[in-house]
Structure 1
Amino acid sequence: PSVKRGVNRPLTEPASTDCAGERPGGEGPALRRTLWRSPRWLRELFRGHSKTREFPAHSAKVHSVAWSCDGRRLASGSFDKTASVFLLEKDRLVKENNYRGHGDSVDQLCWHPSNPDLFVTASGDKTIRIWDVRTTKCIATVNTKGENINICWSPDGQTIAVGNKDDVVTFIDAKTHRSKAEEQFKFEVNEISWNNDNNMFFLTNGNGCINILSYPELKPVQSINAHPSNCICIKFDPMGKYFATGSADALVSLWDVDELVCVRCFSRLDWPVRTLSFSHDGKMLASASEDHFIDIAEVETGDKLWEVQCESPTFTVAWHPKRPLLAFACDDKDGKYDSSREAGTVKLFGLPNDS
């Protein structure tokens, strides 16, 4: 089957202010329409909104951060075996609850694509857990065959895919909580994702390839030699035009969804690319690694829009689904920081400089 592009939703110009409530520059309406979401507009935005604030979240390193679909909550998963959920209140995160129950590290989590109350966690304890923030309880625990490291929720909300350290991907019915299918792969499986149309399933692998399967048939469609070394992560643009991959070669590659060809590379990082995130409008791509900065690029040109300084490697980033706010979490550097303060913090970039 062909790989179809998702429906493009046109961006709308705000009447007078941007998402963060500011107008970069003092241009008139006509020029403002021209500049809306242009590289100049975005750089001006970050000049006034470049503050990063950190929030205590866990007692150990944070492995994963993700926003709910409505942007009201941020969830984090940690080496301390817990998940935390924060409420976004104006320019700060307020911890709402801790979620306990896993017997090992929470390596990745994600939210339901359209229900802002449900999220799922993947753990090394060979289970996944589905949580409901309304009751603050685990509504399902699903046993799996191995130590889980990657998880994603299908765009239609019906299926959860989880990958483990033995390169097995299990597809779980989100309503019955039973396994629908299981695939053992002969290569190292890294990050996994559906395309926006829910009819293809993508895997990045240790050979530098992107493997594409039809869904729900799970038949091989194509294997793309994307990178000369380990292909680590993959993310789809919310607009359905592109997807991006990050690799151990320190490159980020941008791919056309329709043509399955690489349209450009981003090469400002020096270390293996661990994490990627597209902004809600598909115009910005954040990428991070062991470099002590997060690169924010304009998708259409590859140009650098901003550089978020970090004091240690960054292994998870997530753009807010409605605003130019970037959540991220860094490694804990033993001996460099006050461990009681630095361990397990979640950070938020894009806040007003005067906040």
Structure 2
Amino acid sequence: MTSFHYPRLQSLLASAHTKELRGHKQKVLTVGWSSDGKKLGSGSADQTARVWTNIERTSNKDALELKAHTGDVDQLCWDPTHPERLATASLDSSIIMWDVRTADKSRAAPYIRKVQTTGENINLCWSPDGRNIAVGNKEDVVAFIDPRGGGDAKSEKKYIWHTIKNEVEINEISWNFAGDLFFMTTGQGTVRVLEFPGFKPVIDLNAHTANLYCLDFDPKGRYFATGSADALICLWDIEELICLRTFGTLEWPVRTISISHDGELIASGSEDRVIDIASVETGETIHTIQCSAATNSIAWHPNRHLLAYAGDEVSSSRPEGNLRVFGLSDFK
């Protein structure tokens, strides 16, 4: 890793601005940036997703509302090969694929495809080549979907080409950047790694002493990080699968983590009313974002030091869900 000049970034982060995006009527559960960084997606307990564009200059009224689910929108992810497409997963036992270009034209945001699944969905990820979507539900079943379809859209089940029924709690799922390994975090504190697309077991990595809730990959392809109910984050060498260091600033179970585009910063959120931003290289905290509630989801921008985050903040005087973007001093 290149030398981390954290005093410089520490100074920039200290002078950064935060922008609040309002529109959701209940708490925001998930956030994510499009592959080109021009759009920010959010999903909420109000059963909708929203897409925000031109974050620096946007009016809250300009957000596109994606409304077709009948349950909480627990997760969203963008097609890594196409900045206009995203998918949402809901407790209504479905995932929906959207094309923002269609939404722009009609303002009604019609979806491309809706696929029914076997349970209430809480996990979602898109393969690096854009050819597969994986969705996990509360029964710990992970289904693999071909987003390209291949037939009559009325035969929705044919889009699901493989399922895995796990005997342990599954909390987050993801492909590595090469797309040849599939990772699942478990309630036993392990990371279950499978070959893809053959699904041959590679390893059950003993990562934590408590439920493992989240993971994220270094965009430079060197590391991945795991967050657990033991309030620790572990940084792993992706080739050797050895722990390089731990981060222990938070006091409550780690709900969400994200590594910045340059691999220099790792942000983490929990029931602590702070978001910790630390140096990946040294483990030192270089900035703290104060929050008024627990954090549900955080996501670094794909090519800038902008951090989107959302949490449980909802009040009677201002019922909108908490969705904010924290950035550097050039963000206004």
TM-score where L is the length of structure 1: 0.86
Report whether the alignment pairs 1:58 with 2:35.
no
Report whether the alignment pairs 1:69 with 2:46.
no
Aligned residues between the structures: 317
Kindly indicate whether the alpha-carbon contact (under 8 Å) linking 2:312 and 2:322 is maintained by their aligned counterparts in 1: no
SS, match of residue 46 in structure 1: helix
Task: Mark the CA change 1:252 to 1:91 in structure 2 (over 3 Å): closer, same or farther.
Answer: farther
Deviations 1:101-125 (A, max 9, x none): 1011100000001200000000011
Corresponding position of 1:209: 190
- What is the aligned counterpart of 2:318 among 307, 320, 341? 341
Report whether the alignment pairs 1:118 with 2:91.
no
Output the CA distance in 2 between the equivalents of 1:42 and 1:292: 22
Output the CA distance in 2 between the equivalents of 1:344 and 1:89: 17
Report whether the alignment pairs 1:231 with 2:208.
no
Structure 2 spans left out of the alignment, 5+ residues: 104-109, 151-158
Structure 1 spans left out of the alignment, 5+ residues: 1-9, 12-33
Report whether the alignment pairs 1:180 with 2:157.
no
Corresponding position of 1:330: 311
Report whether the alignment pairs 1:260 with 2:241.
yes
Report whether the alignment pairs 1:103 with 2:70.
yes
SS, match of residue 135 in structure 1: helix
Corresponding position of 1:307: 288
Report whether the alignment pairs 1:162 with 2:135.
yes
Output the CA distance in 2 between the equivalents of 1:57 and 1:328: 15
Q: For residue 44 of structure 1, report the CA deviation from its aligned partner.
A: 1.8
Kindly indicate whether the alpha-carbon contact (under 8 Å) linking 1:191 and 1:204 is maintained by their aligned counterparts in 2: yes
Within 5 A, what are the aligned runs for 1:190-205?
190-205=171-186
Kindly indicate whether the alpha-carbon contact (under 8 Å) linking 1:57 and 1:345 is maintained by their aligned counterparts in 2: no
Output the CA distance in 1 between the equivalents of 2:136 and 2:263: 26
Q: Bigger shift: 76-85 or 88-97?
A: 88-97
Kindly indicate whether the alpha-carbon contact (under 8 Å) linking 2:96 and 2:113 is maintained by their aligned counterparts in 1: yes
Kindly indicate whether the alpha-carbon contact (under 8 Å) linking 2:56 and 2:331 is maintained by their aligned counterparts in 1: no
Corresponding position of 1:275: 256
Residue type matched to 2:37 in 1? Answer: G
Q: For residue 41 of structure 1, report the CA deviation from its aligned partner.
A: 1.7
Kindly indicate whether the alpha-carbon contact (under 8 Å) linking 1:91 and 1:351 is maintained by their aligned counterparts in 2: no
Deviations 1:133-181 (A, max 9, x none): 0001200001111110000000111000000000000000121171121
Output the CA distance in 2 between the equivalents of 1:172 and 1:214: 17
Q: For residue 214 of structure 1, report the CA deviation from its aligned partner.
A: 0.4
- What is the aligned counterpart of 1:284 among 250, 259, 265? 265
Within 5 A, what are the aligned runs for 1:30-69?
38-49=5-16, 51-69=17-35
Output the CA distance in 1 between the equivalents of 2:186 and 2:70: 27
Output the CA distance in 1 between the equivalents of 2:41 and 2:90: 15
SS, match of residue 53 in structure 2: strand
Output the CA distance in 1 between the equivalents of 2:325 and 2:56: 12
Output the CA distance in 1 between the equivalents of 2:322 and 2:54: 15
Q: For residue 92 of structure 1, report the CA deviation from its aligned partner.
A: 5.2
Task: Mark the CA change 1:87 to 1:93 in structure 2 (over 3 Å): closer, same or farther.
Answer: farther
Output the CA distance in 2 between the equivalents of 1:43 and 1:147: 41
Kindly indicate whether the alpha-carbon contact (under 8 Å) linking 1:56 and 1:341 is maintained by their aligned counterparts in 2: no
Residue type matched to 1:156 in 2? Answer: D
Output the CA distance in 1 between the equivalents of 2:241 and 2:326: 32
- What is the aligned counterpart of 1:248 among 229, 232, 239? 229
Output the CA distance in 2 between the equivalents of 1:237 and 1:157: 19
Output the CA distance in 2 between the equivalents of 1:217 and 1:163: 18
Report whether the alignment pairs 1:87 with 2:87.
no
Deviations 1:24-67 (A, max 9, x none): xxxxxxxxxx8xx6112211211322x22211130001000000
Q: For residue 90 of structure 1, report the CA deviation from its aligned partner.
A: 3.0
Q: Bigger shift: 67-76 or 84-93?
A: 84-93
Task: Mark the CA change 1:354 to 1:74 in structure 2 (over 3 Å): closer, same or farther.
Answer: closer
Task: Mark the CA change 1:342 to 1:326 in structure 2 (over 3 Å): closer, same or farther.
Answer: farther
Corresponding position of 2:299: 318
